[in-house]
Amino acid sequence: MPGKGDRGGKKERPRDAKGTLLRILRYLQAFRWPMLAVLVFAFASNFGNLLGPSFAGQAIHAAAAGPGQVDFAAVRFYGTCMLAAYLVSGALNFVVNISMMRISRRVAQRVRGDVFDKLMKLPVGFFDRNQAGDIISRVSYDVDVLTTSLSTDVVQIITSTVTVVGSFIMMCVISLPLVVCMLVTIPMAILYTRYMGRRTRPLYAKRSAAYGTMNGFVEEMFTGQKTILAYAYEDGVCDEFSAINHAAADAYCAADTLGMTMGPTIGFINNLGLSLIGLVGAVLYLFKVVDLGQISSFVLYSRKFSGPINEIANIINEIYSALAAAERVFRLLDEPEEVKDIYGAADLAAVDGDVRMEHVSFGYLPGKTVLHDLSLHAGAGQTFAIVGPTGAGKSTIINLLMRFYDVDAGQVLVDGHEIRTLTRASLRRAYAMVLQETWVFRGTIFDNIAYGKEGATMDEVVAAAKAARIHSYIMRLPDGYRTVISEDGGNISKGQKQLLTIARAMLYNTQMLILDEATSNVDTGTERQVQQAMRRLMAGKTCFVIAHRLSTIQNADWILVVDHGDVVEQGTHGTLMANKGFYYKLYASQFE
């Protein structure tokens, strides 16, 4: 039943926040000149912001000179300067935000490009171990979290840092005693921020993992929707999704609930400092140490000083969330790639198609062997069938022939060449494959059949479609070969998708062919026609056929019978039936 597995998200903790940040900075290094311009504009914007309180203090000082002594010209001058400073600051801040948004989008483009390139280089085993939805979550959700943080939080940190430093300098110029009052509460804010950072960082990592798990489940359920409906398991799937959704919501709330306490708490600490400034400032004013304008300016600067600290406290939560997301992306980028071809690996050219496996042992996991000392020989041009019960190791043999995995012991040879001495690309180009799990993509029927053969003509595609017995169906479609197939072939039947992949393999002119249950989704009459066409078109080529329906491989030149990773019988159909052994029992069980 779909969705019965354990889907609990791992409780991840960022392993190297500093290293992750450095890797993000390396992406930003490609935009160092635009970033430098952003820094200059951010500095200029905040410089204008910092002049505002000074002009305000001067205006208040001029207005507080006493009855009949107010210098209205000075008030107007400083008021105008303050307005101009804020207008210029706002305009520059707008430029900074737009620039950072564009830079972050470019960074997202590069990160996603690197991730996709990496996915194309990863071994098949990676995709066997990881849910498709979790991988998609890293490419979409995690990259979005990272770049959103870059476009907003980086600007905020830059401007806040300039504001804090500038405000502190201006406060020192105005009154050192009042600065001492500010310094009483700053350590409290810093220590609290560090303490909360250590607590919230693992929660944001857990949140990213929970969303990856949820995306994986949703993708899996959408893929198996027809099976769910067929088994009337909608309520069960909804219950499972509810549990996963609840876990994701809990992870989100746990992270944000704790994170949201930082802003109000830092605000409370800053207000304590402001109260202390008010008390001490009043005393200093009575003793004529500072005037009213200076106190006003200092209070405004103190708000500018404490405001960014409060904002940084909130931003830190988002930064931790972005670091957790970035770390998941970078862990994917750090996955070991498919083992590179050995130095001097040769290209497989002029293929005859003689394939041998000699004393091969293999297991997907250490200590769990799937194939035990297996040997086989498929001569050039032979049709070689591999049969056996489910889990016997048939598809594993194909994985080793294509070098999706490397053998643990023994060797695999093509035309006398050990395949590990050949380039993977040339080895895989020597095979055409038709799998039980059909794959078509969004595009025209022509594009789907011509996939893999560059420069295929319409006549070649039509010939392949006719041989696969799907030409007449295609011609009944509104646009014929130009009909667009929806994503994953949702607008055609499974049998038609399989016929398209068979036509694709027929067009791909190779000396070796792998058919893994290639006709499992077509009706018996069509299957006979396709088998006849295949025998005609693949004459003289080496064919590996995996089939559960033994009636389809009676004409194979050689049949290998495997069970639990061991070869239990081999020979022609007639010989194996005469022996009345394991193959005979399999065959008889299908016709009783």
| pLDDT band at 409; cut points 50, 70, 90 | very high
* Res. 209 pLDDT band, cuts 50 70 90: confident
For residue range 467-500, what is the model confidence (pLDDT) as tens digits? Answer: 888 888 889 888 888 988 876 656 677 777 878 8
Q: Please list the residues that pair with 357 across neighbouring strands.
A: 376, 412
Residue range 17-333 in CATH 1.20.1560.10: yes
The tokens of 522 are what? 């077509």
What DSSP letter does each residue of 239-273 carry, written as one string?
HHHHHHHHHHHHHHHHHHHHHHTHHHHHHHHHHHH
> CB-based contacts of 277: which residues, under 8 Å, 6+ apart?
178, 181, 182, 298, 299, 302
Spatial separation of the C-alpha atoms in residues 225 and 4, rounded to whole Å: 14
Contact indicator for 408, 568 with CB cutoff of 8 Å: no
C-alpha 135: how far from chain center: 4
| H or E stretch covering 278 | helix 262-286
> 139-157 pLDDT, tens per residue?
887 888 888 777 777 777 7
- Nearest 5°: CA angle at 521, between 535 and 482? 85
Decide if 554 contacts 574 (C-beta within 8 A).
no
CB atoms within 10 A of CB 583: 23
More confident: 52 or 581: 581
- pLDDT of 95 strictly over 50: yes
Residue spans per domain, the chain = 17-333, 355-591
The DSSP bridge pattern shows strands 558-563 and 383-387 to be parallel
| Top mean-pLDDT range of 308-317, 432-441, 448-457 | 448-457
Residue 490: predicted pLDDT: 60
Mean pLDDT throughout 223-245?
A: 72
Element (H, E) at 360: strand 355-362
Query: What pLDDT score was predicted for residue 124?
Result: 81
225 half-sphere exposure, CB direction, 13 A CA radius: 5
Sheet order of strands, 371-378 included:
371-378, 355-362, 409-414, 417-418
d(CA 248, CA 150): 24
CATH class of the structural domain 355-591 = alpha beta
83-92, 258-267, 341-350: the lowest-pLDDT one: 258-267
| For the chain, percent of residues with pLDDT exceeding 90 | 4
Length of the chain: 592
CA dihedral angle for residue 51, residue 53, residue 59, residue 64, rounded to 10 degrees: -150
Q: Kindly report, residue by residue over 527-561, the tens digit of the pLDDT.
A: 666 666 666 666 778 888 887 777 778 888 888 88
For range 557-567, the mean pLDDT: 86
- Computed over every residue of the chain, the mean pLDDT equals 79
CA dihedral for 121, 124, 128, 129, sign (positive or negative) = negative
Q: Does residue 431 register a pLDDT over 80?
A: yes
| SS3 per residue for 73-102 | HHHHHHHHHHHHHHHHHHHHHHHHHHHHHH
Q: Which residues pair with 562 in a beta bridge?
A: 567
**Token duo for residue 147:** 């770049």
Pairing, β 484-485 against β 355-362: unpaired
- Give the Cα-Cα-Cα angle 443, 447, 451 (nearest 5 degrees): 120
